[in-house]
Structure 1
């Protein structure tokens, strides 16, 4: 119970006794579901689900999945493209877990120099290395009782992965330079924008650690998969940045919004956020117009127009056609195995999946 269980039963027990124990829990779940159904939409069309904005089918499915896995104590593996909101997902999981009143500690493994990574994760004692002038707790210790979020875990070197595996296996860790073991009472949520199975095949990620962490996988949809959420997010960012910058912006023109909906958003929500902030800072007025947006936003139709070369240019083809031919040949070579083809081309399998979806759309529009 101290570790987050809501109830328990003693064996042996009868079906009636078990039903009586479960009834209050089912009632609570049903009540929460009813509350969720009654939750009013935000002005931009999103729902109040922590810091997320959006009510597309993809996001509603994500919210439901977060609700299901949050109460568990098992590790969570969040996958999604860069800028899709992996840390927001980890925070939402923590907020709905039995550890919500304890710390949430986030660590970006790709933003820390390799030589400092072990100390950042596990801490160190005075004199452990040059510059270690005092004892210092690491992220594992700071997250005691709560949740440790390891973003871009694929950037962690193999030797440190082995030490993280030991934490998961034994529930113990050691500060750098310390002999005694300390207890690690935390839940680990990790994330990566890469295909973890491809990283295992390439030898960049330990297979045993992968199976320890990949207990509850959850995938964040890319912004291009979220339909009208682009409009809701853009309006939410516009309202927020206009207030922060003291500007009068209140809406987007129809053409500006059309271009934003047509854009592929390879940088996902982070790219959209930057585009809106730039328009607010550099523009004037109450309405964001197309000329305030970067030229590449909504340029998909321009790319399509190159698919049929003009007369006299038949020997020149767009880069994406050459890229498609190379990727498809690699897939044929490896018998349709996307992971092996991606490794040979030094790409992420998710990149191949994304490009093939885009090609299918282009073929359908032709």
Structure 2
């Protein structure tokens, strides 16, 4: 052959061929195995190997293949909408955010780009925009570009002739398409998304029959990726009609008491938890906490306090105890780990042990954020989830 197996697998994936692949090599290295895994290989075998081992791996791959292929190529149209998050608070930061969201939502068909740190309720804000928009009676279809592969994106949004999929028009027309984690999209998906946005713009100009609006969300560092030419500049200009930066909670801690009330109301009304009142001292303590996890960290803390507490009032002691518990249970940083190379094991077993230790250490390094983990280790998130599963690592706990 003119190219090696890794190059062939890469060209297949770039062309949208998501068929299961088993890599086999007589001179396999750890680097080759990692590269093959990044490209979505089901397994990587080193020669020599027994026929029994080969048959076992083939049988396992064929057993899993139908589910993986269905996941890869079947168009999906999600229907569950995130709970709307209305930014609350009297601070100037909160007031400006509300005003910007309300003004942006009211402009029919204007695409909106939301940028924010992890935990800033970005999905809820997108849902809130939908509720305020002229498209509020239409559908809200959410698509996570961090988990979609190229074939799935194309089969969802385009028909075989390359035109906008009739399924998208049928279910989404008059509503909003919400594309989240666009900073995680592959190069091929970025190109296809630009094609889709151009096609939608053309349809709006030439016909009133197709009216679809888009909201996008990404990590706050997306402009940096554009500057570094790691994200499509063409797509960036198409997205950047209206850009709204969601502030971190650290920028407006004075709004924490109102956020507490909003989250308590949410958990009582929507999740049917028992109501508990936060004492003034408890609220003040939470105002002074450094919310590195932003709104999501506060929301999770409130949920735990509502579930675990037995008194009507959440006291300062309870809050302090829970915050101290978070510190004690926080994972050690990766540089505190030591790892001995298992030199007495066969290459395959040694590689698996190394991969498991490596991913656990990197998981702790990013404080359990799988999106950041995927960036750090250089893997597409779908393949990363599969790798974690194969190594018996829980994506929720890193163990």
- TM-score norm. by structure 1 comes to 0.56
Structure 1 pair 233–254 and aligned structure 2 pair: CA distance change class (3 A):
same
Contact 2:150–2:188 (8 Å) recurs in 1 = no
- Does residue 158 in structure 1 map to residue 187 in structure 2? yes
Question: What secondary structure sits across from 1:145 in the alignment?
Answer: coil
Match of 2:302 among 276, 294, 297: 276
Match of 1:116 in 2: 152
Q: Distance in 2 between matches of 1:244 and 1:168?
A: 35
C-alpha distance 99-283 of structure 1, shift in aligned 2 (>3 A): same
Q: Distance in 1 between matches of 2:303 and 2:281?
A: 18
Structure 1 counterpart SS, 2:134:
coil
User: What SS class does the counterpart of residue 89 from structure 1 fall into?
Assistant: helix
* Coordinate RMSD, CA, aligned: 3.6
Residue in structure 2 matched with residue 262 of structure 1 by the alignment: 288
**Structure 1 pair 296–277 and aligned structure 2 pair: CA distance change class (3 A):** closer
Contact kept, 8 Å, 2:87 with 2:97, in 1: the verdict is no
For the Cα contact (< 8 Å) 1:77–1:217, is it kept in 2?
Answer: yes
Are residues 275 and 212 of structure 1, via their aligned partners in 2, closer, same or farther at CA, if it must alter by over 3 Å? Answer: same
Which runs of 5 or more residues in structure 1 are unaligned?
1-48, 126-135, 174-182, 300-318, 320-345, 347-366
Candidates 228, 242, 245, aligned match of 1:219: 245
User: CA contact under 8 A between 2:85 and 2:121: conserved in structure 1?
Assistant: no
Residue number in structure 2 paired with 1:90: 126
- Distance in 1 (alpha carbons) for counterparts of 2:113 and 2:275: 39
Alignment partners' CA distance in 1, 2:115 and 2:271? 33
Match of 1:169 among 192, 198, 202: 198
Taking the aligned partners of 2:246 and 2:178, their CA distance within structure 1 comes to: 16
Q: Which has the higher helix share?
A: 2
Q: Residues 263 and 298 of structure 1 are in contact (CA less than 8 Å); yes or no, is this contact kept in structure 2? A: no
Contact 1:74 1:216 (8 Å CA) reproduced: yes
* SS of alignment partner, residue 276 of structure 1: helix
* CA distance in 1: counterparts of 2:138 and 2:273, whole angstroms: 38
**Counterparts of residues 66-81 of structure 1 (less than 5 Å):** 66-72=101-107, 73-81=109-117
Which residue in the other structure is 1:58 paired with? 93
Equivalent position of 1:200 in the other structure: 226
Unaligned runs of 5+ in 2: 1-83, 203-208, 326-334, 336-375, 377-399
User: CA-to-partner distance for each residue in 1:84-123, whole Å, 9 max, x for gaps?
Assistant: 1222322333333332222122222224456534434x16
Change (3 A) 1:203 1:266: same
- Which residue of 297, 303, 321 corresponds with 2:323? 297
- Out of 176, 187, 210, the position equivalent to 2:213 is 187
Greater alpha carbon shift after TM alignment, 100-109 vs 275-284: 100-109
Q: After TM superposition, give the deviation of residue 236 of structure 1 in Å.
A: 2.6
SS in 1 for 2:110: coil
Match of 1:144 in 2: 173
Comparing 93-102 and 242-251, the one that deviates more: 242-251
Structure 1 Cα separation of the partners of residues 271 and 126 of structure 2: 29
Q: Among residues 89, 92, 106, which one is paired with 2:142 in the alignment?
A: 106
Per the normalisation by structure 2, the TM-score is 0.51
CA distance in 2, matches of 1:111, 1:59: 31
How far apart, in 2, do the equivalents of 1:245 and 1:74 lie? 34
Counterpart CA distance in 2 for 1:244 and 1:94 is 19
- What is the Cα deviation at residue 279 of structure 1? 0.9
Change in Cα spacing, 1:239 to 1:169, as seen in structure 2 (3 Å) is: closer
Partners of 2:149 and 2:253 in 1: CA distance: 38
Shift of 1:159: 0.9
Distance in 1 (CA, whole Å) between partners of 2:143 and 2:311 is 40
Deviations along 1:195-215, one digit per CA (max 9) or x if unpaired, are 222112333310011011111
| CA-to-aligned-CA distance 1:23-74 (integer Å, 9 cap, x gap) | xxxxxxxxxxxxxxxxxxxxxxxxxx97443332211111211222223222
